[in-house]
Amino acid sequence: MKIIVTGGAGFIGSAFVRLALAEGARVVNLDKLTYAGNLENLAAVAEHPAYTFVHGDICDAKLVNDLVAAEKPDAVVHFAAESHVDRSILDPSPAFETNLRGTFTLLEAARAHRLPRFIHVSTDEVYGSIPFPGEADENFPLNPSSPYSASKAGSDLLARSYFTTYGTPVIVTRASNNYGPYQFPEKLIPLMISNAFEDRALPVYGDGMQVRDWLYVDDHCRAIHALIAKGRAGEIYNIGGSAALANIDVVRRILAATGKTESLIRSVADRPGHDRRYALSSAKVMRETGWAPTVSFDDGLARTIAWYCENSGWVERVKSGDYRAYYARNYDDRHAGV
């Protein structure tokens, strides 16, 4: 099996590339290497004989078309995206370009070359905030709140339209919040771990009672891998971690595990349009593929903290340069929260 992976130098994409190679696939990784793309994430497989890296933009129609024509893959797994809500609030334009135009460009190539499988990696954020105790199944209405989630909802619908209109064999996956090694420290868990290590303030938005369902990255990748073989074209599959926690509880666990005190917690101004709660049912992917999450939150968090502790060089490198400017822009003007 040959797979074109987009965004394979990012957090989830790199974990998927490692898994797919270990499972015997040939992998072509197409990545633009934005601030979030990092070839260090793939150092362990860079010389693997079944692995090829292509540096390019998914919005580049000629490049995408030529690549698909030349490689004739059995599947495209599409991770490439601008993936951070806060950055999409500061500047929505990159999310619009990559998440919408980039997905369109890939779908056009999939249609033209009659690709046998196209996995579009979407997110539970397309459902928007879900009041307790509800949970979204795949038929739940889409109600995205941020420029990021709206761009993902748009690309998710576009991908499905290619199945309905052209019969392109698209599968859409909607996963909950991922965490694990190699996650860029702009997202909650790695940001809090890295700030705790440095005795810096841990900025909790609003009252910290927002709920996210945490999915260990390798469990997510195993679900996608199972869906390449067993998923049905035209279908949507939720992928959740069955680990719902309020942000403040996640932060407290990180402080306890890193031996730091709660005096580091800073309540700061809330994120505009902040979704209060995500919750989804993964019954369908479990029933149809036999997949289930295997890593508990306690175990996954311990593994993640250990990885960031052992890989301080990686953290230092990704936090140099542009990261500092982003951090100042997102956090410096946040007046005190509740």
Residue in 31, 71, 125, 135 annotated catalytic? 125
**Radius of gyration for the chain, computed over Cα atoms and rounded to the nearest angstrom:** 19
* Alpha-helical segments (H) within 72-146: 85-90, 93-95, 103-112
Which stretches of the chain bind ligand TYD, using CB under 6 A?
85, 125, 177, 187-188, 191, 203-205, 210, 212, 247, 271
Residue in 148, 162, 237, 308 annotated catalytic? 148
Residue 218 in contact with ligand NAD, rule: CB under 6 A? no
Produce one character per residue of 122-160: b if its CB has 16 or more CB atoms within 10 Å, e if not.
bbbbbbbbbeeeebbebebebbbbbbbbbbbbbbbebbb
Residue 282 in contact with ligand NAD, rule: CB under 6 A? no
**3-class secondary structure, 242:** coil
Which residues sit opposite 205 in a β-bridge? 268
Position 330: which residue type?
Answer: N
**Nearest distance in Å: CB 148, ligand NAD:** 8
**Residue 33 interface partner, choices ligand NAD, ligand TYD, none, CB cut-off 5-8 Å depending on type:** ligand NAD
Residue in 31, 124, 156, 275 annotated catalytic? 124
Q: Scan residues 159-198 and list those touching ligand NAD (CB under 6 A).
A: 175, 177-178, 184
**3-class secondary structure, 253:** helix
Strands 26-31 and 51-55: parallel
**Nearest distance in Å: CB 336, ligand NAD:** 27
Q: Scan residues 107-146 and list those touching ligand NAD (CB under 6 A).
A: 121, 123
Active site residue 138: no
Residue 154 in contact with ligand NAD, rule: CB under 6 A? no
DSSP character string of 142-180: P---SHHHHHHHHHHHHHHHHHHHH---EEEEEE-EEES
Terminal CA-CA length for the chain: 52
For ligand NAD, give the closer residue by CB, 155 or 289. 155
- Name which position in 33, 158, 201, 286 contacts ligand NAD (CB under 6 A): 33
**Nearest distance in Å: CB 26, ligand NAD:** 19
Active site residue 166: no
**Residue 31 interface partner, choices ligand TYD, ligand NAD, none, CB cut-off 5-8 Å depending on type:** ligand NAD
Active site residue 124: yes
The tokens for 324 are: 């500092």
Question: So which residues are the catalytic ones?
Answer: 124-125, 148
